[in-house]
């Protein structure tokens, strides 16, 4: 990609990393649970002070009761059960935001990191009786009045992967604490407000720790790995450009185009692409070609209205991270996601984008 300053292997993997990986051991521990009994409420979990935090998996188990015949469905946007969560964030006591997203953002990550599965299809797959039902029990299709199980596993990841291991958070320092915020939405896409909510969230923490305290190796903490959600309003057809902030190294830019509370119909899209330096467009393709290209990577068609530029696919495999195509914008004056829309009557429309990026620590 001539003209775009790409990150090098030396920048993303330090010489001491191999010794840190060989000296560490993955540790998984479970924290205390919290039960939500109403929509619009939230809670915070304090991460245990041990090791280097890589991710938190939130085990969600419970029920919602819908008193009257609903007008929505489980697959109304934003899709349930992930659509129940208005905010999930990882932050430090110094107010550094590492992850800040709705539950939909975590679903987007699941869709684009799983080769042969789809969280929206799993609930109705064959043999959906025991283990699978404990994780994915949201039915599909039209809702009826009654009590429904809400079970899912939300993967809140703050590092890149098990190979490069960038973005690990030092949880054992006495100077900084790490917190996970979980908030339920004020409304859900059932059309009828639930009469009862009983949802328990249990955090399962994943750390890398050094079993031998005499070993002095430390992880490469030259980069923070961020996953942040942003909404850019759109009110007109034609060429539209969304400009993410320059400076970070972008690993992926994924999202949905929304209109009137729903994903935009694929027929409203023209070409989509990426432009930098105002005129250079390394990616420009019809929307259906864009969707089809990622079908080859992920084994499934992206949901309507979704777009995805996953720059970690230089090696050709989803989330086997490869730095070949990472977008290093540290020396660029501008970067745009380019869209072309037609035939849309815009009502509260916009581009909801999740920015996965590496930010140099100074």
pLDDT, tens digit (0-9, with 9 covering 90-100), for 45-81: 999 998 899 999 999 998 888 877 777 666 778 888 8
Tell whether 260 and 346 lie within a shared domain: yes
Question: Which of 221, 255, 282 is the last residue in one of the domains?
Answer: 221
Same-domain check for residues 190 and 89? yes
Q: How many Å apart are CA 188 and CA 143, to the nearest integer?
A: 12
What length does the chain have?
Answer: 362
Is the entire prediction scored with pTM above 0.75? yes
Which residue range(s) make up the domain with 263?
229-360
CA distance 210 to 128: 39
Q: What is the pLDDT of residue 213?
A: 56
Residue 106 DSSP SS3: helix
Task: Tell me if 134 is assigned to some domain.
Answer: yes
Question: 165, 190, 221: which is the final residue of a domain?
Answer: 221
CA distance 277 to 272: 17
Higher pLDDT, 98 or 297: 98
Average pLDDT value for residue range 74-100: 89
Same domain, 347 and 273: yes
Half-sphere exposure in the Cβ direction for 204 (13 Å, CA) = 11
Higher pLDDT, 24 or 52: 52
124 pLDDT band, cuts 50/70/90, is very low
As for how many domains the chain has, the answer is 2
Q: Is residue 10 part of a domain?
A: no
Give 343: exposed, middle or buried? Use CB within 10 Å, 0-12, 13-18, 19+: exposed
pLDDT over 70 (residue 123): no
Query: Is the bond preceding residue 331 a cis peptide, omega within 30 degrees?
Result: no
């Amino acid at each position: 990609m001539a003209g775009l300053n790409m990150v090098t292997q030396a920048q993303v993997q330090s010489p001491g990393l191999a010794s840190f990986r060989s000296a560490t051991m993955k540790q998984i521990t479970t924290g205390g649970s919290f039960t939500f009994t109403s929509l619009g409420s939230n809670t915070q979990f304090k991460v245990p002070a041990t090791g280097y935090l890589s991710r938190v998996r939130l085990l969600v188990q419970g029920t919602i009761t819908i008193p009257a015949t609903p007008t929505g469905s489980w697959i109304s946007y934003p899709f349930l059960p992930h659509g129940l969560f208005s905010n999930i964030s990882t932050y430090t006591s110094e107010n550094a935001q590492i992850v800040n997203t709705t539950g939909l953002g975590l679903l987007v990550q699941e869709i684009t990191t799983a080769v042969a599965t789809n969280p929206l299809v799993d609930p109705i797959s064959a043999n959906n009786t025991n283990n699978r039902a404990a994780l994915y029990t949201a039915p599909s299709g039209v809702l009826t009045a009654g009590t429904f199980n809400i079970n899912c596993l939300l993967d809140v990841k703050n590092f890149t992967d098990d190979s490069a291991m960038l973005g690990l958070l030092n949880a054992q320092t006495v100077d900084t604490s790490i917190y996970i915020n979980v908030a339920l939405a004020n409304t859900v896409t059932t059309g009828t407000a639930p009469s009862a909510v009983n949802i328990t969230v249990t955090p399962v923490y994943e750390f890398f720790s050094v079993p031998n305290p005499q070993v002095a190796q430390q992880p490469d903490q030259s980069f923070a790995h961020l996953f942040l959600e942003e909404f850019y309003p759109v009110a007109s057809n034609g060429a539209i450009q969304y400009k993410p902030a320059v400076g970070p190294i972008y690993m992926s830019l994924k999202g949905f185009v929304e209109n009137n509370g729903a994903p935009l119909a694929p027929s409203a899209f023209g070409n989509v692409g990426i432009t930098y330096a105002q005129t250079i467009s390394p990616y420009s393709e019809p929307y259906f070609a864009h969707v089809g290209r990622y079908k080859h990577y992920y084994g499934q068609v992206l949901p309507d209205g979704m777009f995805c530029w996953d720059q970690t696919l230089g090696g050709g495999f989803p989330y086997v991270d490869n730095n070949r195509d990472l977008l290093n914008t540290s020396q660029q004056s501008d970067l745009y996601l380019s869209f072309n829309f037609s035939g849309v009557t815009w009502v509260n429309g916009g581009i909801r984008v999740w920015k996965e990026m590496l930010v140099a620590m100074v």
